[in-house]
A and B are shown apart, each in its own frame.
Chain A
């Protein structure tokens, strides 16, 4: 089975802090994604990556950056955390080679910015 592991289930940080969310997948997937999920808004794509050191902006990239130094690891960085970034953050991965492959998600990190 595909395993997508997010480093923390719950995280509390303060406004202005630099926050790192880590995601690791064990299936040698080319593509990795970061979403945030908010009540009434569904999942919104922040960033995705289709290869090591490659990244593309999703629908809501402002205030975030990402890093993919190794194929299995995709990090989401909140440069200067703000209260409106309090959310559930979800990482996903999928095989490359065509868009029909389903995405596999981690269990999420519930981030609170105080």
Chain B
């Protein structure tokens, strides 16, 4: 699975958009990009995933560059409760019995400030 690179920390003002970057320059054509976050003392929470196209759900938007070597997670209106560590994970679509071991790196600590 492709390695990902994320900044260790970012600040964002409450109510503003938070844009979290992720580099995955060695990504292969069949590898998906997943985003999770982990709020202190809780389990990781799935946010969104994508392959080629940009994706949006009720939590966030995922923008993937045309060459797929990087992506950005966008929280459109950050709140204090969005303060968490955000993980970008890239992994291939597995076969029927080749399961998706998710490798969580260090992630980005997002600090949302009042």
Contact = CB atoms under 8 A, between A and B. Distances in A.
A101 B44 CA distance: 15
B69 to A, nearest CB: 20
B95 interface: yes
B25 interface: no
Interface in A1-53: 4, 31, 33, 37, 42-43, 45, 48, 50
B105 A102 contact: no
Indicate the size class of the contact surface on chain A: 20 to 34
A100 B106 contact: no
Secondary structure dominating the interface of B: loop
Indicate the size class of the contact surface on chain B: 20 to 34
Nearest to A99: B94
B39 to A, nearest CB: 10
Interface stretch (B7-15, B16-24, B72-80, B96-104): B96-104
Contacts of B100: 94, 99-101, 103
Interface of B: 32, 34, 41-46, 49, 51, 91-106
